[in-house]
Amino acid sequence: MTALIPTWVGDDLVAVDKLEAHQRGLRHKAVSVFVMAGEDLLIQRRALGKYHTPGLWANTCCTHPHWGEDPLSCAQRRLKEELGITGLTLSHRDQVEYRADVGGGLVEHEVVDMFMCRVPSRVALDPDPEEVMETRWIGLNALNAAIRMYPERHTPWLRIYMAQHAMQIFA
């Protein structure tokens, strides 16, 4: 069972099943979080059981707000659910829109609230294995190099964020 997420149908914002929104390529709300320790960004490799982009590297965490949930609460909830991270002060960086084919006939057409947090040292993690199969801290230059060498190993949205929105996120 998937959640009902805020989705635009025409000019109206309505609650639509998350899988249906992806199957129909409907424009919907999302959040993305970026946690940095020094020059290193925490990224995650999506669990193999995910219904799209399994096994690919993504930003610290991302999700869709539930119907009626504000973006900041959603970002904090998802950090805890996916990575066991609590207590961070997130800074809203911007809102961006993108559309990307994520395979299997599914399309992400997202209006994304992006959040960032700089921490003094690497935070303790307790990843949910049904969500995250691996984590790593990586410098932005190294991440960009990895995306150039192996784009197929990274989610479409991470490639878009790094190519088109890095200044908005990391400045």
Catalytic residues: 62, 110
- Within 8 A by CB and 6+ apart from 76, the residues are 86, 88, 90
Q: In terms of Cα–Cα distance, which of 11, 31, 7, 9 is closest to 19?
A: 7
Are residues 33 and 62 in contact, defined by beta-carbon separation less than 8 angstroms? yes
The stretches of the chain forming alpha helices (DSSP H) are 18-24, 71-83, 140-149, 156-164, 166-170
Distance separating alpha carbons of residues 171 and 163, to the nearest angstrom: 14
| Residue given tokens 């964020």 in the structure block | 161
Alpha helices by DSSP H, listed for 4-155, are 18-24, 71-83, 140-149
Backbone phi, then psi, for 159, in 5-degree steps?
-60, -40
